[in-house]
Each structure stands twice: as C-alpha cells, then as structure tokens.
Chains A and B, each alone.
Chain A
Amino acid sequence: MIFLGIDIGSLSCDAVLIDEEKNILASSVILTGAKNIESIARAKKNVLDAAGIMEKDIRSIISTGYGRARVKEKDAAVTEITCHAKGIKHVIPETRILIDIGGQDSKVMRLDPDGNVVDFAMNDKCAAGTGRFLEAMARALEVDITELGDLDKGATSDLVLSSMCTVFAESEVISLIACGTEQKEIAKGLNRSIAARTNSLVKRVAKNIDGLTVSMSGGVARNKGVVKAISESMNLEKINTPETPDIIGALGAAIIAFEKIHG
C-alpha cells in the first residue's frame, strides 16, 4: 500500500509518497503559483511518475498546508503543525523543539518524546522572517535567493536590522547599501533579525530549552546563515536540519495517512 502526503504552502506545493515501511518512494517540491489546484495535480503526477506508481495504488491521501482544503481527493486534511511534528519525528526523532519557517508564516512547536505537539506558537500576521521576507531581501540585495545562505560569511559587525516589516526592512537594506555597508554585513544583520523573531517565538513554547533538541524544517532551513544566526541567538551549538527540510510537512501528512489505515 502506498500513502501520499501533499503540503500546499503559499510558496511551494510539496508531495511525498511512502510505502508500508514508511520509506520515501518519491518527493516533489514545486512552486504553488497562482493556481494551486493545478500545482497539486502537478506535484502528485511528479511523485507518481518518479516512483512508477499508478494513482489507484494510493491507499490514503492526507493534505496539509494553508491550501489543504483545496485537495479534492484527500481522505482528510490535517494542519501543517501536526504534520511537521510527525514528519520531523520520522527523520530526527529526538526533536523536542521544532522551528518551521515557511513561505508566509513561521511556527514553533514543542514536542513530547512520541512526537506529539504539546504546545505551539505561530506568527502569520506579517511576513517578517519568512520565506517571502527573504525573497524581498534577496531582491533588495540583488542576489538570487539561493545565494543568500552563504552571503554573510566573514561578516564581523554587529549590525541588526531595526525594521522587521518587509516593506520597511527592504528600504532599510537599500539605505544600508546606499551608505556603502557591505553585502555580507547586511546579510548577517538580516539573519540576526530573523533569529531574534524566531527566538521570541521559541520562548513562548519553552522558556528554557536546556537539554532539548532543536530542529528546523521548512524551506528557510536550507539557508545556512539563518540557521546559524538562530542557533547563536539561542546559545545552541547546533540546530538539526533534515536533508530535505522542505518536504517535512508533506512527509508528516503521508505518515498520518499511513497511521490512519494502520492505527
């Protein structure tokens, strides 16, 4: 039996297929774009083609993400908070604090040893510190989003961006460029600002993180600079990141699909 998880986020639409042993058979990450129904179909086709599996072989489908209700063929919709927790439990089981920075929002979850969510905090009021925010900053810095992660290498100043509103932060970055501030210093300042925001979210679910394993999922976990800044702000030696952080939500959804059948 095959199980499918689909995570329809604001930036990307991710799909993961797993088998009876919860092995990942295929995964796909594509841009959601303006028409999410088409993206859902495309992501599903991608994983089916890659795994060489027919749609009829799928035993159960769970959708997640902000567009979870839009997946017509779903057996159930589950929030991304529960799905990310389930997904990270599968790949980094010792995780107790999970930070998920997605395209449009950021969330922090506190997990028990069984991977159940026991508390969470979420910021979806503005794009501060999210994927969209980083996209805007990359644009202001005139670099590709993929280059942003290493851009802060060698930065030495303690610059912190004072504005976290995407619009104001973008103009602050432009002003800093105009003043001749080096790109790497601005990038470091950006990362520190995101880290401060994230740290505040972490404190809402766990005042003290001593001895708790912290992991990060979501597309922004690929940005080494942000991950490092967050670990520095939390006085952690390391934050664990899965190999494929952007499919953790979809993976969790697929595992829930599996568990709904197998109990």
Chain B
Amino acid sequence: MKRPAATSPFTDPANPQVIRAQGPLEIRTEVAVIGSGAGGATFASELAERGFEVALLEMGPYITRKQMNQRERDMLPLFYEDVASQTTADGGIVVLHAHCVGGTTVVNNAICFDPPTWLLDEWAERHGVVGTRRADLAAANAKVNFILNVQKIAPDQVNTNAKVMMRGIERIGIAGDTFHHNRTECLLSGFCMLGCAYDRKQNHHITYVPRALSFGARLYPEARIDRLISRGQQVVEAVGTVRDPVSGKSYPLSIKADAFVVAGGAIWSPTLLLKSHLGNAQVGQNFHCHPIAAVAADMGDETIRAYEGIPQCYYVDQYLQDQGFVLESIFAGPSVSAALLPAWGPSLQRLMHRYEHLASAYVQIRDEDSGRIRVDARGVPVIDYSLSARDAQKSLAGLKLLSRLFLAAGAQAAYLPRAGAPIRTQADIAGMDVDFSPCRVSLVSAHQMGSLRMGEDPRFAAVDSRGKVFGTTNLYVADASVFPTAIGLNPQITVATLATHFANQFSRPLPV
C-alpha cells in the first residue's frame, strides 16, 4: 500500500489565487487567458512560469474530485455544454465538450498522441504554417509529456473490452497498440468520462492550472466573457459576467490587459471573435469535429463488463493516412450507452439487457470537409456541419472493419450505429450500406477544431503561425481552433504542445 503524499494547496478552491466574485469585478493584468482547457491552462502556466502577470478566466465552474460522484445523472449536467445534448445544427452529430476549470481534459479518456511528423509537415507544406515542424515543437512537446506524466498503458491495465478488440485484431491480421495516457497510479475505476474522483487522471485542472497558480497566476472560475472591446487593432478590454458559486448571483466583469489569449475551444473561441467583430472572414470557417460512429458487439455468453477498467485502452491507426480513420476501443455508462444506441422500445431494452455482454469500439474519421461556427440572434453558437459523402465513406470503411473484427473475436452480432438488423455474417458486412443522412445514424464528436485556423496568408487563415489573430496586435488564440486541418487523433497533447510553443514566443514588451 502506498503512502499518500500531501494534497496540493493549489488544487483547493479556497486558495486565495482562486477568485470568488462577490460583487462587480474590474481586473487589470498583463495577460488575460480566456479558457482553462488543454490550450488555455497550458498557455497561462507557461507565461506565469516566465514571470508574466496572468489572469486565467473560465466560464465553467471549478469542479474538484469532492464533487465527482461517478454518477452520470449528476456529472453529465455538471460538466457538459447544454446538459450534454448539444448537436450540430442538422441534429446529426452529438457534440460533447466540457465547461469547467480544466475544460474537456477533465472528462476525456486521457489518450495522448504526440502530433505526428507527417501532420506537421502537411500543415507546413499545404497550409503555409511556419515554424511548427517536428523539430520546432520537440521541446514543447517533451515538456507537455513531462508535466502530464504521459506513459503507455501497461498490459495489466488493459480492460476486457479492449482485449476483445485485441483478439479480433489479431485474428484478422491487422496491427494495433495500447494508448499512451496521462494517468498516474490509476485505480482502474473506469469513470474517467465523469471526472476522476481520485485525481489519478492528470487533467489540466490538477496539473497545468495549479502549476500556473504556483507561479502566481490567478484563476477566475465562472467568468464568462461576452465581448472583446478594441481600439483600432488593439483589444483593450474583455467584458462579461462573473458568477458567485456560493450565492449564485452574477456580477459585471471587466478585464483590461496588454494581451488577450482566447482558448475557449473551437466552438466558443470563434463565437467570441464573431460577437466582438474581430478578425477576418476566416473566423468560424473550416470547422472539423472527428465524427465518431460506434459498434456494439454482443459477445454471447462471454461476460465483458466493458465499463470496468480504463475505458479506452487500444487502437488501430494504420489506416489514418491513406483511408482517414482510426479505430479505438470505448465504452460508457448505461445512460450514455442507451442514449447513443440507435434503438428504442423493446429493441433498446433487449440490447441494454445484454449490457454486460457488450463490447464496443468506434471509428473516428479525419474529416476532410468542414463546416462553420456562426452566432445566432441570441448570441449563442450554431454548428453548421454535415457529414460529407466522402467523409461518410471513411466511416463506412471503418464500420466494416470493426464489424469484421468483432465477428472474428466471437461476436454473435455487431450493432451498427443505425436502426435495423445487426451484422451477423461476412455476407452482412459485404452488403453493408449505411444511410449517413442526418439523424439516421448515431454520430458523436468529442474533438472540435479548425475554426480559427493558422497560416501566414490571411485569405485562408484566421491567425498566424504564432496564434495571433489577423487584423489585431495583441489578440491570440491557443486551442484546437488553430489546427489547419482535422488531425484524426485525440488532440489534447497537440493542443498543449502548440500552446506551449505559442507561449514561448511571447516576450516583453508585448506587441500592443
């Protein structure tokens, strides 16, 4: 039995550097970072470490392990946008992202992929991005891996669900691997997507946020920025509201800073720029979201209990570059599972009755075609995105492979993410046809990106290769919005690496 180490004072919301608003707030700081997820918290920490005065603002609450009770009923509304029911405008894709200190890292499955060399080369050669080749990012990438304590999932940590996938992979003769992840001394409870109640998953809210505070940054939870006010090309103030988590009252918020960094994710970052009438015509364009389509396999008499252990352990990426998809093992609690299974009535009840015998994995595509983020009359973002025909073909190819894999592993039936009969035979796979029209197939997005893409030509990009918004002198973006393309892989390490890289290029005097 290991001896507990001291709990950090910097993960305590009572820390005086975690500001509770009990009246209107007017803040003056050197750098204001808006958003505390994989990009914002990293950027804030890097600047604070170098001596900058940093205010880190987060529109969501500061949720600690004390509130994480592992119940979907309580945690989904607490963490997720729109009570986890946000979709694309056509309703075709459920879009998941978290609003809390630490952002989506708090509820992700801790999967870590370094930005691949081929991807960074593609960004440079096809999209004109400068200074983000592998060698340029190596130090930043290494530091991110160090702070998040990234390591490979050990063989004895692989759960039964992933072992089914491994068996199928071996039998059909393709290659897979266990993920790298940012967990330390994982207890294998399996509730990662509802927040880690034991602080073993190294989310940004227990790593980069407290690290930033330890270097003097201040954190403002529940601080919602509605608009950036500019004078000429210079942003001079951010205004919004801040909520007292104790009384529930909201107060006006004003931040004046020498530089502003927007890191609210690929939906909220362009929304803020659009509402503030900042940036060029590329703002909000080029939105990608890695649509995911899952297969649930009924493994007959074999008891899987796929909800036990690390929820995602194993993957196949050999088809990413030429066919544009990856396969990843996955499972979820009963509430999310039932919501995403494409069945209702007795069909749903029959399938859920088989819950402990179900194994599951999904195909995640690197979507080539894009959508856009716009703002409706109420000031809230609308995600105009529909799966294109060529991207749907990638998903179909992945679904066929997953079905093959599960049948090879011994599944009696593989349930596709659409209503209708399951796949039971190779002939079913050969004849598989899926109508990818919106709301005829169950799709999910857990990664959003690209809506403020970077490059050196403002005709095609919203920010430059250092994250600075074109047409401004002191406004930066540091989240997945800046990706010029979808990346196909889980993005948290790439986001944090780019944020570190951007922060490293910050220097005084700030370019006001």
Chain A bound to chain B: no
Report B's interface with A, CB cutoff 8 A.
none
Which residues of A approach B to under 8 Å, CB–CB?
A: none
